């Protein structure tokens, strides 16, 4: 993967003398692309790139220039295309000649041939920008699911006109003098009422937005001050009649899942899989193992654990068992070389700060920091990894899909603590927390596409899929992208193949809940890839520490921060934090992943973020 950034203005004066700024933006993205760097400045456009080389290491340099007749296009691209070979063949038939094996050139030539219409042809994860030198406009696009990020800021000045600044990560945008580290009431509401999630399209910082998944945009700067910025969706989850039997649905699911995994095993560098012993990572590891073994290669698998978790783990409703037993079953089943990474309490707390630097925002506390440390260890052995994110959203694996009472409840099912969250907000901001959440919930539900003759159960489960797709899943994808790319590790997510999402959206809920079992369709479709105990294992979330020493450690650190003139107290009531730190309330902050220890750590991260990014509150 890579990092991209740039600036587009109405004329050369916009970018003249800005090279030190562009180099600073590029340097901010160095962890995303440690192998190669490039900057191209032409006319009123500056395009910036940092590269993590995975395919055609010698020839995929960027920004890349593509010529088609008299037209010239300059491309900066972050991502992977999994249908590169098919697209290359189609483009060759149309007269294109290729100089490299890289998917970068394929994507660039696809844009040169089809313009914006190329994007729906792509199967992959991507965010890219193309500067059309003849027509003087910038085209932006992001993958359907939102695996790869893309932020932007539009600015306007009387003397220089409109300009667009964009980047893969917020930290690169903030290197530009036109983008200030400021938050207003909206940013405060995002931190306290939505965080660690974000409203789709929101960049939290004032005047910063994110291009939403499955969207394109076109920016055309003009000398007359009438610049235009237009964005549009090119894909969405759409309900359709589905008359497949269960057996037909299982067969199609098996093909789509297997094909997605095998497509994503293509790499010129070492590749591996995450393995928790859960259904999703085990399916990916098993398919990958068979595929690589047939090629005479050996898969590497990686598991994360925590020191003394065996002493402190207590089975519960949302985490009925630990991973160790099931990882053992998979190790017996696979031909893979397995690695176990064990994290300790102190390093987990220390990494909370680096996790903020990776995400540029307070995040999922130790759920983030543990992944960051895990990816750092994996990077010592491999450059590309496959992970099981998004199967739960698509196949209905979360508890809130299957509990009729929770499913019927209004509001985001993973964030039912708005009233409690509001107690932290200082009175002077006067933000209606309930309406802030409810309006976003209603808008997402109303935008869910459902056939008019769908029964109540299927209507509601499709709404739930869309809610998870637009919100909860995006938080997890943010986490996976930022924590992995911080160590220059590319993580691919096969269940995010848009073909799987598109087909499964139309499948009846009864198929997904086959035999009253979570992800029943996926188990039936892929069950023979797994040993029986793993095939029948109940869902267990991403593992986190159960050591009480962790809560003690983050409590100590937050208390120290509060006593050190904490900027957190600009937006949060001290008495509410004192109540939290007294451990009298264990209300979940964000689903089953964030309870008391993670909530304390979230506020510790917020304090660090306000300090480190020198964030100002502007009203």
Range of the domain at 571: 548-613
> Can you tell me the distance from the alpha carbon of 273 to that of 387, in angstroms, rounded to the nearest whole number?
6
For position 288, what pLDDT does the model report? 97
- How many domains are contained in the chain? 3
Same domain assignment for residues 277 and 386:
yes
What average pLDDT does the segment 505-524 reach? Answer: 95
Q: Using CB atoms within 10 A of its CB, is residue 452 exposed (0-12), middle (13-18) or buried (19+)?
A: exposed
List the CATH number of the domain containing 137.
3.60.20.10
pLDDT digits (tens, 9 = 90+) for 393-418: 999 999 889 888 888 889 999 988 99
Within a domain: 111: yes
Q: Find the range with the poorest average confidence among 26-40, 301-315, 384-398.
A: 301-315
- CB count within 10 Å of CB 574 equals 12
70-98-6 Cα angle (round to 5): 65
Same domain assignment for residues 14 and 44:
yes
Q: In what order do the strands lie in the sheet with 161-167?
A: 36-42, 45-51, 2-8, 161-167, 151-157, 209-210
Within a domain: 431: no
Within a domain: 180: yes
Within a domain: 269: yes
List the CATH number of the domain containing 263.
3.40.50.620
pLDDT at 547 over 90: no
Within a domain: 435: no
Same domain assignment for residues 587 and 509:
no
Within a domain: 361: yes
Within a domain: 280: yes
What average pLDDT does the segment 142-161 reach? Answer: 87
pLDDT band at 320 (very low <50, low <70, confident <90, very high): low
> Can you tell me the distance from the alpha carbon of 392 to that of 539, in angstroms, rounded to the nearest whole number?
9
pLDDT at 1 over 70: no
pLDDT at 14 over 80: no
For position 364, what pLDDT does the model report? 96
Same domain assignment for residues 149 and 52:
yes
Query: How far apart, in Å, are the Cα atoms of 8 and each of 43, 153, 230?
Result: 9, 11, 14
pLDDT at 429 over 70: yes
Percentage of the chain modeled with pLDDT above 90: 80
What is the DSSP secondary-structure string of 518-575?
TTHHHHHHHGGGS-HHHHTPPP--S-----HHHHHHHHHHHHHHHTTT-GGGGTB-HH
For position 53, what pLDDT does the model report? 65
pLDDT digits (tens, 9 = 90+) for 234-286: 999 999 999 999 999 999 999 999 999 999 998 878 889 999 999 999 999 99
* Range with the largest mean pLDDT of 269-273, 293-297, 359-363: 359-363
pLDDT at 160 over 80: no
Q: Length of the chain, please? A: 619
Same domain assignment for residues 531 and 593:
no
Residue pair 109/130 in contact by the 8 Å Cβ criterion: no
Query: How far apart, in Å, are the Cα atoms of 600 and each of 81, 360, 551, 578, 596?
Result: 40, 18, 8, 10, 6
Measured N-to-C along each axis, helices 548-562 and 574-581 cross at an angle, to the nearest 10 degrees, of 160
The chain-wide mean pLDDT, for the chain, equals: 92
The three-class DSSP label of residue 119 is helix
278-212-281 Cα angle (round to 5): 10
Same domain assignment for residues 495 and 595:
no
pLDDT band at 438 (very low <50, low <70, confident <90, very high): very high
Same domain assignment for residues 288 and 402:
yes
What average pLDDT does the segment 332-342 reach? Answer: 95
Same domain assignment for residues 311 and 254:
yes
- Token digits of residue 223: 């000398």
pLDDT band at 17 (very low <50, low <70, confident <90, very high): confident
Same domain assignment for residues 503 and 567:
no
- Residue positions annotated with a catalytic role: 2
Asked whether the bond before 70 is cis by omega within 30 degrees of 0, the reply is no
Residue pair 273/387 in contact by the 8 Å Cβ criterion: yes
User: pTM here?
Assistant: 0.95
Same domain assignment for residues 253 and 226:
no
Residue pair 284/492 in contact by the 8 Å Cβ criterion: no
Query: How far apart, in Å, are the Cα atoms of 67 and each of 6, 73, 92, 108, 525?
Result: 21, 6, 14, 9, 45
Same domain assignment for residues 565 and 509:
no
> Can you tell me the distance from the alpha carbon of 46 to that of 167, in angstroms, rounded to the nearest whole number?
12
pLDDT at 312 over 60: no
Same domain assignment for residues 296 and 173:
no
> Can you tell me the distance from the alpha carbon of 230 to that of 234, in angstroms, rounded to the nearest whole number?
13
What average pLDDT does the segment 83-98 reach? Answer: 96
For position 56, what pLDDT does the model report? 55
Q: Using CB atoms within 10 A of its CB, is residue 221 exposed (0-12), middle (13-18) or buried (19+)?
A: buried
For position 587, what pLDDT does the model report? 83
> Can you tell me the distance from the alpha carbon of 603 to that of 569, in angstroms, rounded to the nearest whole number?
11
> Of 180, 211, 233, at which residue does a domain stop?
233
Within a domain: 16: yes
- Half-sphere exposure (CA, 13 Å, Cβ side) for 261? 27
pLDDT at 363 over 90: yes
pLDDT band at 64 (very low <50, low <70, confident <90, very high): very high
């Amino acid at each position: 993967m890579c990092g991209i950034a740039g600036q587009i203005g109405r004329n050369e004066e916009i970018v003249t003398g800005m090279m030190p700024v562009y180099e600073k933006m590029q340097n901010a993205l160095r962890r995303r692309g440690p192998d190669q760097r490039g900057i191209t400045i032409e006319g009123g456009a500056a395009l910036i790139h940092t590269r993590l080389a995975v395919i055609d290491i010698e020839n995929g340099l960027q920004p890349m220039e593509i010529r088609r007749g008299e037209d010239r296009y300059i491309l900066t691209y972050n991502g992977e295309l999994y249908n590169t070979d098919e697209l290359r063949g189609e483009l060759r038939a149309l007269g294109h000649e290729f100089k490299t094996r890289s998917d970068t050139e394929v994507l660039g030539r696809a844009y040169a041939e089809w313009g914006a219409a190329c994007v729906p042809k792509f199967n992959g994860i991507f965010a890219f920008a193309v500067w059309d030198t003849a027509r003087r406009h910038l085209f932006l696009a992001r993958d359907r699911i939102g695996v790869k990020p893309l932020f932007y800021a539009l600015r306007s000045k009387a003397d220089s006109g409109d300009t667009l600044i964009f980047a893969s990560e917020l930290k690169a945008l903030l290197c530009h003098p036109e983008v200030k580290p400021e938050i207003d009431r909206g940013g405060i509401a995002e931190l306290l009422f939505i965080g660690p999630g974000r409203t789709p399209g929101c960049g939290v910082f004032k005047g910063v937005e994110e291009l939403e998944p499955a969207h394109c945009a076109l920016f055309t700067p003009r000398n007359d001050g009438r610049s235009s910025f237009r964005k549009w969706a090119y894909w969405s989850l759409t309900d359709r009649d589905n008359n497949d039997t269960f057996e037909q649905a299982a067969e199609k699911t098996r093909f789509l899942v297997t094909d997605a995994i095998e497509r994503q095993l293509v790499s010129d560098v070492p590749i591996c899989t995450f393995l928790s012993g859960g259904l999703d990572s085990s399916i990916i590891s098993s398919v990958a193992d068979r595929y690589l073994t047939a090629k005479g290669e050996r898969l590497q698998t990686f598991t994360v654990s925590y020191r003394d978790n065996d002493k402190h783990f207590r089975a519960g409703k949302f985490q009925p068992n630990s991973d160790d037993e099931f990882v053992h079953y998979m190790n017996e089943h696979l031909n893979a070389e397995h690695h176990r990474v064990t994290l300790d309490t102190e390093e987990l707390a220390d990494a909370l700060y680096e996790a903020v630097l990776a995400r540029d925002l307070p995040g999922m506390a130790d759920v983030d920091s543990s992944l960051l440390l895990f990816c750092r260890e994996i990077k010592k052995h491999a450059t590309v990894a496959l992970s099981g994110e998004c199967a739960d959203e698509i196949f209905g694996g979360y508890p809130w899909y299957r509990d009729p009472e929770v499913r019927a409840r209004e509001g985001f099912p993973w964030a039912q603590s708005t009233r409690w969250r509001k107690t932290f907000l200082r009175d002077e901001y006067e933000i209606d927390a309930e309406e802030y959440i409810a309006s976003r919930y209603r808008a997402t539900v109303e935008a869910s596409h459902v056939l008019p003759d769908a029964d109540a159960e299927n209507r509601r489960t499709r709404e739930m899929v869309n809610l998870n797709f637009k919100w909860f899943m995006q938080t997890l994808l943010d986490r996976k992208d930022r924590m992995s790319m911080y160590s220059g590790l590319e993580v691919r997510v096969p269940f995010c193949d848009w073909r799987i999402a598109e087909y499964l959206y139309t499948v009846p809920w009864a198929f997904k809940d086959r035999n009253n079992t979570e992800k029943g369709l996926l188990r039936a479709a892929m069950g023979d890839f797994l040993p029986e105990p793993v095939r029948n294992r109940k869902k267990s979330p991403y593992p986190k520490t159960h050591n009480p020493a962790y809560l003690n450690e983050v409590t100590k650190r937050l208390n120290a921060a509060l006593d050190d003139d904490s900027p957190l107290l600009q937006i949060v009531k001290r008495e509410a934090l004192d109540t939290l730190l007294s451990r009298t309330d264990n209300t979940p902050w964000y689903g089953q992943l964030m309870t008391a220890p993670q909530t304390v750590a979230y506020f510790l991260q917020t304090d660090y973020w306000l300090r480190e990014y020198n964030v100002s509150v502007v009203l």
